[in-house]
């Protein structure tokens, strides 16, 4: 007979131990030295950041949901219900957080991105940005800021960087605090690690244990690419962990009420 889901209090205890370690690694980003943006390290940081952005996160979410739904003992109705609940809650939190982050929190704190500050610094006679950071952020929209960056951040501009990173700098033209990538990665890691600890046996649980490692890597990629400060990363990561716990508790509560029998955990040989 398949065992029941692990009790919530036990899951939260194990989750808190793991995510506490992950969160404690984020302040170490203050110790990161400047990285040459033409090196393989910078390129790895770029692709890691992309995995935690709008292009990569949906695929990671769908993969984790698929792993959860592959466990034995679920009816088709239960699989459909879990699929809908997890995706709807995540979409709601992602959408709400993205809106608040973009239109409320970031404009309120109005912290300039490190790369913009760097480009505004005088080099020889003039700056690469051709204006101060204050003047840059007075441009009314992100599209106008990106268009300006596209004009001045040419292939021969300083600092030298990989073309992918140059396009990333051009795209990331909003305010800096907090880091949206760090928020998203830590949210995903927290939610799915908690769900994995709840429902998945050791045979596949290692995949869920890898999520905090991935999330920390995404957080580190942001200051390496110079588009966020360590403070941005720490704030975004902490926000993501807290929201992830809330999403997990909501998922467990909803599954408890819609399913007459709690979902079964897959067996070790399954």
Angstrom distance (rounded) from CA 60 to CA 168: 21
Q: Which of 149, 147, 142 is nearest to 106 (CA)?
A: 142
pLDDT of the residue at 265: 42
Q: What is the pLDDT along the chain (270 residues), one digit of tens a residue?
A: 445 788 899 999 999 999 999 999 999 999 999 999 999 999 999 999 999 998 899 999 999 999 888 877 777 888 888 888 888 988 888 888 888 888 899 999 999 999 999 999 876 556 888 899 999 999 999 999 999 999 999 888 888 999 999 999 999 999 999 999 999 999 999 999 999 998 887 667 889 999 999 999 999 999 999 999 999 999 999 999 999 999 999 988 888 776 554 444 444 433
pLDDT of the residue at 259: 57
pLDDT of the residue at 94: 83
Residue 226 Ramachandran class (φ > 0 left, ψ -120 to 50 alpha, else beta): left
pLDDT of the residue at 62: 93
Q: Of how many residues is the chain composed?
A: 270
Which pair of tokens denotes residue 18? Answer: 């793991």
- With beta carbons less than 8 A apart as the criterion, state whether 49 and 225 touch: yes
pTM: 0.89
- With beta carbons less than 8 A apart as the criterion, state whether 174 and 142 touch: yes
Q: CA 227 → CA 29, 40, 119, distances in Å?
A: 13, 18, 12
Tell me the helices (H) and strands (E) count for the chain, helix number first. 12, 2
Those residues whose C-beta lies under 8 Å from the C-beta of residue 30, and which sit 6 or more positions away, are 230
Angstrom distance (rounded) from CA 200 to CA 190: 15
Before 159, cis peptide (omega within 30)?
A: yes
């Amino acid at each position: 007979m398949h065992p029941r889901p692990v009790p919530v209090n036990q899951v939260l205890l194990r989750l808190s131990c793991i995510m506490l370690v992950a969160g404690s690694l984020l302040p170490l980003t203050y110790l990161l030295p400047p990285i040459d943006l033409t090196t393989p390290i910078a390129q790895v940081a770029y692709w890691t950041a992309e995995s935690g952005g709008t292009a990569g996160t949906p695929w990671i979410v769908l993969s984790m949901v698929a792993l959860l739904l592959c466990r034995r003992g679920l009816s088709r109705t239960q699989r459909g219900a879990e699929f809908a609940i997890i995706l709807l809650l995540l979409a709601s939190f992602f959408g709400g957080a993205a809106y608040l982050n973009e239109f409320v929190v970031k404009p309120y704190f109005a912290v300039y991105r490190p790369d913009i500050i760097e480009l505004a610094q005088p080099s020889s006679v003039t700056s690469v940005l051709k204006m101060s950071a204050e003047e840059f952020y007075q441009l009314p929209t992100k599209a106008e800021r990106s268009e300006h960056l596209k004009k001045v951040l040419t292939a021969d501009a300083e600092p030298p960087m990989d073309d992918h990173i140059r396009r990333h700098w051009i795209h990331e033209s909003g305010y800096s605090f907090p880091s949206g990538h760090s928020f998203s990665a830590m949210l995903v890691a927290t939610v799915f690690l908690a769900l994995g600890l709840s429902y998945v046996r050791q045979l596949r649980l290692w995949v869920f244990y890898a999520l905090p490692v991935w999330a920390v890597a995404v957080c580190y990629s942001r200051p390496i690419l110079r588009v966020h400060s360590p403070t941005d990363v720490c704030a975004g990561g902490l926000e993501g962990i807290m929201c992830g716990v809330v999403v997990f508790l909501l998922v467990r509560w909803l599954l408890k009420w819609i399913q007459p029998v709690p979902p079964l955990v897959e067996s070790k040989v399954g």
